[in-house]
Amino acid sequence: MGVIASAPAKIILFGEHFVVYGEPAIVLAIDKRAYAKADLRLDKRIFLRSLNMNVAGYFEDENFKVEEGNPKEAKMKLEPLKCAVEKVLEISSEKVGLNIEVNSTVPVAAGLGSSAAVAAAVVAAVGALLNVKLSKEDVFRMAYDAEKIMHGTPSGIDPAISTFGGAMLFQIDTGFKPLDVKTDIPIVIGNTGVERSTRSQVAKVRSLRDRYPQIVDPMMRAAREIVLRAIEALKDGDLKTTGELMDINHALLYGLGVSDESLEWLINAARKAGALGAKLTGAGGGGCMIALANKDSIRNVLEAVQRAGGNAFLAKKTNEGVRIEPV
């Protein structure tokens, strides 16, 4: 019998880009999940398949043999998952072959933490299959190691929120702190479909700050104040204030030059349709936007974002992080 595990995607509600400079950010796990199924094989190969990315192949010792997709691309996309599997095998001391199949309901390369959710789900599934007792901290650490292969030096936000779920405050120097948010947070997520490079967007902000430190540094302080106010608003269940703060946060990000026409189009459509607030989420320059809405207006906002050309869907905060699914 195989084991299926899943882990949630995420949105950055407040603080992206500013987090690079030591300011806080608020991250939410959302109810879109990535799934990983693990089965034992009779040989010693690690076979990996991603249904979303249409790639498959197996690793045997240091060799890779592609079975679906472009060999170079398949190896690059599957290598982080192989790392996640090997981290669990090291602890188990088992010398076994595995079949791993991953399937995600999370759009890939859209800033929603798809790769981290997949990595966390793979670690949990393999751990459960081999009867390895893994704490959530273990799952986080292993998923984070897999993310480093994909992204170089990631902040750790994505594997943390995929593992633990809920809402978190993240700051580079102090790490993660869970936020107690009881209220429902109904969100419309609109995917522009425009691919962007996080690295180039971060470089753009750094260049702007180098040229205009007296202007950009006060924007950083304003971003911190927004996060601090937002923590209180979320704890109080005050969605109106949360929405207003989202709009102000977006104005700062627009000022830094990380929004673009595709995002502005969707954000303006959401606001006109009655959203309490709307902003880009993640790196910007394409990718996704998010809009906060009341239950009575959320359908209107969703349809408006779709009419404006966004691939839009509803999401809400989930408190459940990585979990084993009933088979």
Residues 293, 239: Cα–Cα separation, whole Å: 8
**Last residue within a domain, chosen from 180, 213, 235:** 180
Domain match, 87 and 126 both: yes
Among residues 122, 153, 180, the one where a domain terminates is 180
How large is the average pLDDT for residues 82-92? 92
Whether 158 sits among the annotated catalytic residues: the reply is: yes
Same domain, 249 and 269: yes
Domain boundary among 180, 213, 228: 180
Query: Any idea what the Cα angle at residue 159 is, between residues 314 and 228, rounded to 5°?
Result: 70
> Are 176 and 190 in a shared domain?
no
Is residue 119 assigned to a domain?
A: yes
Residue 311: strand pairing partners: 191
The number of domains in the chain is 2
Asked if residue 192 and residue 174 are part of one domain, the reply reads no
Q: Which domain holds residue 23?
A: 3-180
pLDDT at 9 exceeding the cut of 80: yes
Q: Which residues sit opposite 11 in a β-bridge?
A: 28
Average pLDDT over residues 163-167: 96
Least confident of 60-74, 148-162, 188-202, 305-319: 148-162
Average pLDDT, the chain: 93
**Positive/negative CA dihedral, 42, 5, 35, 135:** negative
Q: Does residue 131 form part of some domain? A: yes
Residue 186: the pLDDT is 93
**Tens digits of residue pLDDT in 222-254:** 999 999 999 999 999 999 999 999 999 999 999
pLDDT, position 153: 65
Is 23 domain-assigned? yes
- Whether 323 is in a domain gets the answer no
The enclosing domain of 194 has a CATH number of: 3.30.70.890
One domain for residues 75 and 146: yes
> Who has greater pLDDT, 187 or 198?
187
pTM of the model: 0.90
258 has a pLDDT exceeding 70: yes
The one-character DSSP state at 317 is B
Asked if 40 and 66 count as a contact pair (C-beta separation under 8 A), the reply is no
Residue 227, both tokens: 């996060």
Residue 97 and residue 12 in one domain: yes
Q: Does any domain span residue 26? A: yes
Inside any domain, residue 213: yes
Is 163 found in the same domain as 26?
Answer: yes
What are the pLDDT digits (tens) for 92-135? 988 899 999 999 888 777 789 888 999 999 999 999 999 999 99
Same-domain check for residues 151 and 22: yes
pLDDT confidence tier of residue 315, bands split at 50, 70 and 90:
very high
* Choice among 56-70, 104-118, 183-197, 223-237 with the minimum mean pLDDT: 104-118
pLDDT tens track for 260-311: 999 999 999 999 999 999 999 998 999 999 999 999 999 999 999 999 999 9
Residue 114 lies in a domain: yes
In a shared domain, residues 239 and 114 = no
Provide the terminal-to-terminal Cα distance of the chain, rounded to the nearest Å. Answer: 9
User: In 3-state terms, what secondary structure has residue 29?
Assistant: strand
Active site residue: 39, 43, 145, 158, which one? 158
**Sign of torsion, CA 268 312 189 185?**
positive
Token pair of 12 as six digits? 């950055």
Residues 152 and 204 in one domain: no
Query: Residue 105: is it exposed, middle or buried by C-beta count within 10 angstroms (0-12/13-18/19+)?
Result: middle
The CATH number that applies at residue 148 is 3.30.230.10
Q: Where are the alpha helices (DSSP H) in the chain?
A: 71-92, 114-129, 136-151, 157-164, 198-211, 213-235, 239-255, 261-272, 298-307
> Do 11 and 122 belong together in one domain?
yes
Residues 133 and 254 both lie in one domain: no
Domain membership flag for residue 324: no
